[in-house]
Amino acid sequence: MLQGKKLLITGVLTPQSIAFACARVAQEQGAEVILTGFGRGLSITQRTAKRLPDPPEVLDMDVNDPDQVAAVEEALRERWGVLDGLLHAIAFAPEDALGGNFLDTPWESVATALRTSAYSFKALVVGLLPLLEERGGSAVTLDFDASVAWPGYDWMGVSKAALESVTRYLARDLGPRGIRVNCVSAGPLRTMAAKSIPGFDVFTDAWHRRAPLGWDVTDPTPVAGAVAFLLSEHARFITGEILHVDGGYHAMGADLTE
């Protein structure tokens, strides 16, 4: 599905990272992959990268640092001279922006959450635009359904609503330049990021009761399959879309009866 594609995958930290499964499936589907790691997590990303079928190069990138985004563009230009797709799998919110403190979270923490988790998608795509434009590219980001409010998710929920909107505006502005931009809205998965969400088990239980297909919080492979699809030519007329990979949870109005 991705034969000959050159892809940048951000957000691989541990083998549990959703982006790790995405990188694995992309390689299995024939893509060449380069990863980015961030800050103190960089060495962990380097170690995790070795567990991929074809251990890829890892570039250092804090998505909030325009110089580092420019350095990634430069490195990809040298290696490939083109970029067919990217996965944005980046989110962060300070502790006081999560866990039921919604009414008292200071703007500084909200700003950090919004910048790292929503604005950064725009920053990354625009930073890599000259390479993405070469032969028409696809950008995908990872979302958690922001059409409703969730317990404890607080300003990360607001950031995901912004991310969904950023996706639509990028799709609007970049479609005429041959670039597609989409979200995969995933069900809950046990990752490092999930550990920082207080009361994550509430989600696990809710999915257990409501998702008609069932849902395994330890298996990001179904999400990775959808990401691979959106990065592929099979999705060539899909943009501005939110594709739910959540076992059908989002489509149900109430818990299932036995």
Ligand X SMILES: NC(=O)c1ccc[n+]([C@@H]2O[C@H](COP(=O)([O-])OP(=O)(O)OC[C@H]3O[C@@H](n4cnc5c(N)ncnc54)[C@H](O)[C@@H]3O)[C@@H](O)[C@H]2O)c1
Catalytic one of 5, 6, 160, 249: 160
Please report, as residue ranges, which positions from 181 to 200 form the binding site for ligand X (by CB under 6 A). Answer: 186, 188-189, 191-194
Please report, as residue ranges, which positions from 197 to 256 form the binding site for ligand X (by CB under 6 A). Answer: none
125-135 as b/e, with b when 16 or more CB fall inside 10 Å? bebbbebbeee
| Strands 85-88 vs 6-9: parallel, antiparallel or unpaired | parallel
Q: Which of 6, 7, 9, 11 binds ligand X (CB under 6 A)?
A: 11
Is 153 known to be catalytic?
yes
State the binding string over 74-113 for ligand X (x if CB under 6 A, else -).
---------------xxxx---------------------
Is 160 known to be catalytic?
yes
Under rule CB under 6 A, residue 158 binds ligand X: no
What are the tokens at 2? 């991705």
Catalytic one of 153, 169, 195, 249: 153
Interacting residues of 195 by C-beta distance below 8 A, sequence separation 6+: none
- Tell the smallest beta-carbon distance from residue 3 to ligand X (Å): 26
| H or E segment to which residue 60 belongs | strand 58-60
| H or E segment to which residue 140 belongs | strand 138-143
CA proximity to 112, closest of 156, 69, 73: 156
Catalytic residues: 153, 160
Binding region for ligand X (CB under 6 A): 10-14, 17-19, 38, 41, 61-64, 89-92, 116, 142-144, 186, 188-189, 191-194
